[in-house]
């Protein structure tokens, strides 16, 4: 009888044992790998200290061996859209409430003016409504109402939005690696942007004028009266920069950066631009918003963007004030300072573009960014609403 041949030769057995050992080692390695919740997509171009915890979107990434696929599943998409829709919902509420409150206060103010005038004059002129409206528009009351309505609503939406998305407000001010030199550099860049976008707005306006379309440009210069100037300065230099940065670079940017910092910076800057509802201010707000968003992410703080926003508004306010009051020496000094800062800004901007890093998006992040915006109805509604307002102001600007 022939002897039964072995299933494996000693060499084959050893080879199988080595393969099994390697497979076990690979499984152990995978089980030991943990995804960093603050860098779930292994993106070296992002500032990890700024990134929110991605476990709030994908809780299982804390489990060893978990991996994130290229395309998000329905549950992950739903949680991403939830944050996008929260941003859109709060901005939509801000838009509706600010307009309703502003219209209500304007009607109340005009009503009180009428009562006062009726008590002083027996009969009001036929065109009284036009006179009262012009008086109200040119008074400090209008600027004061802007200060009150938009300032309070900016802070309220910021606070409620942070609570709804569990953002710790004190953490938004934990400034990192921000020095006086950084501040001067960023200020020089934003002044360069302000100057450049002014010329760009004029160029675009002339192009539209050539085809018979007059772009709406808001008259933000107050009448040369001390009371108007003071109220306008308080709003432009203090209230607007602080409250707008809280809302746009605090609540909006933080939530839109949950997947990708690049997407968050660009989208929050775009929202900030269309929020102004005219082409001229869109150019400055969008490009300035890119800088403000970048430095907020880089330094993990709202302090740098607030400082830069206050400085650029102060420069514009001073320039208008000197021009309105005919102070030629003041205008001359401001122009010299502008020129110096712009020259420095060119160098700083070149260095930032070459040396510093603007966050890029990995393929995984790109799948979860703009595509999810189109599936987030509240955020889409805000975008459509503001763009529609820009178009309507162009059509009916005459």
- List, as one string, the DSSP characters of 153-217: HHHHHHHHHHHHTT--GGGGG---S--HHHHHHHHHHHHHHHHHHHHHHHHHHHHHHHTT-PPP-
Q: Could you write out the DSSP letters of every residue in 202-255? A: HHHHHHHHHTT-PPP----PPPS-HHHHHHHHIIIIIIHHHHHHIIIIIIIHHH
pLDDT at 245: 96
Going by C-beta distance under 8 Å and a sequence separation of 6 or more, which residues neighbour residue 301? 172, 173, 174, 175, 176, 178
Tell me which residue of 311, 157, 150, 330 sits closest to 235, measured CA to CA: 150
pLDDT at 388 over 70: yes
Write a three-state SS string for 354-387. Answer: HCCCCCCCCHHHHHCCHHHHCCCHHHHHHHHHHH
pLDDT at 349: 93
Residues 241 and 306 sit within 8 Å (Cβ to Cβ)? yes
HSE-CB for 14 with a 13 A CA cutoff: 3
Tell me which residue of 296, 273, 284, 268 sits closest to 88, measured CA to CA: 268
Under the phi-then-psi rule, with left for phi > 0, alpha for psi from -120 to 50, and beta for the rest, what region is 166? Answer: left
Rounded Cα distance, 324 and 316, in Å = 12
pLDDT at 220 over 80: no
121-175 tens-digit pLDDT: 777 888 888 888 877 777 777 777 878 888 899 999 999 999 999 999 999 999 9
Name the maximum alpha-carbon separation found in the chain: 135
Q: Residue 223 — very low, low, confident or very high, per pLDDT cuts 50/70/90?
A: low
Q: Residue 272 — very low, low, confident or very high, per pLDDT cuts 50/70/90?
A: very high
pLDDT at 77: 94
333-363 tens-digit pLDDT: 888 888 999 999 999 999 998 888 889 999 9
Cβ burial, residue 6 (10 Å; 0-12/13-18/19+): exposed
Rounded Cα distance, 341 and 356, in Å = 20
Instruction: Tell me phi and psi for residue 190, to 5 degrees.
Output: -70, -30
Rounded Cα distance, 365 and 373, in Å = 13
pLDDT at 82 over 80: yes
pLDDT at 198 over 90: no
Rounded Cα distance, 338 and 316, in Å = 10
Under the phi-then-psi rule, with left for phi > 0, alpha for psi from -120 to 50, and beta for the rest, what region is 222? Answer: beta
pLDDT at 27: 54
Q: Residue 215 — very low, low, confident or very high, per pLDDT cuts 50/70/90?
A: confident
Going by C-beta distance under 8 Å and a sequence separation of 6 or more, which residues neighbour residue 233? 317, 321
């Amino acid at each position: 009888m022939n002897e039964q041949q072995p299933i494996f030769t000693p060499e084959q057995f050893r080879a199988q044992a080595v393969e099994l050992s390697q497979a076990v080692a690979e499984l152990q390695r995978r089980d030991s790998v943990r995804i960093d919740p603050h860098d779930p997509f292994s993106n070296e171009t992002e500032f990890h200290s700024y990134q929110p915890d991605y476990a709030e979107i994908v809780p299982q990434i804390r489990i060893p061996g978990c991996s994130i696929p290229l395309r998000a599943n329905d549950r992950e998409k739903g949680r991403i859209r939830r944050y996008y829709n929260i941003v859109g919902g709060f901005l939509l509420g801000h838009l509706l409430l600010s307009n309703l409150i502003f219209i209500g206060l304007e009607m109340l103010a005009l009503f009180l003016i009428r009562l006062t005038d009726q008590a002083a004059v027996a009969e009001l002129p036929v065109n009284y409504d036009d006179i009262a409206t012009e008086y109200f528009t040119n008074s400090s009351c209008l600027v004061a109402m802007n200060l009150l309505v938009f300032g309070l609503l900016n802070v309220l939406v910021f606070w409620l939005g942070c609570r709804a998305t569990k953002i710790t407000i004190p953490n938004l001010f934990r400034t990192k690696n921000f020095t006086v030199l950084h501040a001067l550099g960023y200020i020089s860049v934003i002044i360069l942007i302000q100057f450049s976008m002014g010329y760009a707005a004029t160029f675009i306006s002339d192009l539209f004028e050539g085809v018979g379309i007059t772009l709406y440009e808001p008259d933000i210069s107050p009448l040369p009266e001390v009371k108007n100037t003071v109220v306008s300065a308080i709003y432009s230099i203090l209230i607007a920069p602080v409250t707008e940065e809280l809302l746009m670079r605090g609540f909006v940017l933080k939530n839109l950066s949950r997947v990708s910092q690049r997407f968050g910076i660009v989208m929050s800057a775009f929202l900030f631009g269309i929020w102004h509802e005219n082409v001229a201010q869109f150019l400055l707000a969008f490009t300035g918003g890119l800088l403000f968003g970048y430095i907020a992410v880089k330094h993990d703080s709202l302090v740098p963007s607030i400082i830069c926003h206050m400085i650029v508004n102060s420069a514009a306010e001073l320039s208008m004030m000197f021009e309105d009051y005919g102070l030629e020496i003041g205008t001359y000094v401001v122009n010299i300072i502008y020129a110096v800062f712009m020259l420095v800004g060119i160098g700083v901007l070149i260095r930032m573009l070459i040396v510093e890093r603007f966050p890029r998006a990995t393929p995984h992040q790109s799948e979860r960014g703009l595509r999810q915006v189109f599936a987030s109805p509240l955020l889409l509604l805000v975008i459509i609403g503001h763009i529609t307002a820009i178009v309507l102001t162009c059509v009916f600007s005459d």
